[in-house]
Chain A
Amino acid sequence: DAGITQSPRHKVTETGTPVTLRCHQTENHRYMYWYRQDPGHGLRLIHYSYGVKDTDKGEVSDGYSVSRSKTEDFLLTLESATSSQTSVYFCAISGTKAGGYNEQFFGPGTRLTVL
């Protein structure tokens, strides 16, 4: 596996509480992504980062914020968790290759349950 870890791996929380998920990479890749995966929807991009302090919104960013203060860490924060944010969250990284076409390497995922 590419050097990507996610923490925590499992979390149960209550509606209205803030939650922060961490993605850590040891590959020194420039690009990092947060996805959520729900049955029938596939992976949907929440936020992504193209460098330290450079982030942007993806397809389903409402209710989420991110930060990247170091190349190796990308944090996803649920500002006030809701039951609709119960999901499996995946972090991915991507490097730079000739032609700019990059495969993504995924972390093991975090299963989040919001009660």
Chain B
Amino acid sequence: SQKIEQNSEALNIQEGKTATLTCNYTNYSPAYLQWYRQDPGRGPVFLLLIRENEKEKRKERLKVTFDTTLKQSLFHITASQPADSATYLCALDEATDSWGKLQFGAGTQVVVTP
């Protein structure tokens, strides 16, 4: 069966450290993968997109890697801040059509303490 797995346990991290989140998938062949941030009571907000032929993408303090051999994406938040506390979702699209249908993981909560 198809699965997208993210750590269900919250990641507690001290301010200034790097948070690393994992997204593993099974029985998918994603053309690209996206990461979203979701705050309590709000809709997800897009952060980064990485294509299957890209190894790494960066945006400010965020870095995403994509390893299609391991079937895994890693999401890094460097120099973490309490404002980074949120749930982070990975989503993938196999792009079998052009309708942009995404499959989401359940998300990992990040808690950054001062």
Contact = CB atoms under 8 A, between A and B. Distances in A.
Interface of A: 31, 33, 35, 40-45, 48, 50, 56, 58-59, 90, 92, 94, 100-109
Interface in B23-61: 31-32, 34, 41-46, 49, 51
Interface in B70-94: 89, 91, 93
B44 A42 contact: no
Contacts of A41: 106
- The dominant DSSP class at the A interface is strand
A93 to B, nearest CB: 10
A109 B101 contact: no
B35 to A, nearest CB: 10
A30 to B, nearest CB: 9
B63 to A, nearest CB: 17
B4 interface: yes
Nearest to B93: A101
Interface of B: 4, 8, 31-32, 34, 41-46, 49, 51, 89, 91, 93, 95, 98-107
A41 B49 CA distance: 22
Contact of B95 (A90, A100, A107): A100
B99 A45 contact: no
B100 A31 contact: yes
A45 B100 contact: no
A104 B102 contact: yes
Given A90-B44, A92-B43, 13 more contacts: A35-B104, A43-B44, A43-B104, A44-B104, A45-B101, A48-B99, A94-B100, A100-B95, A101-B93, A103-B34, A104-B46, A105-B46, A106-B44
Contacts of B32: 101
B44 to A, nearest CB: 5
A58 B101 contact: yes
Contacts of B45: 106
Most buried by A among B45, B91, B101, B106: B101
A58 B100 CA distance: 12
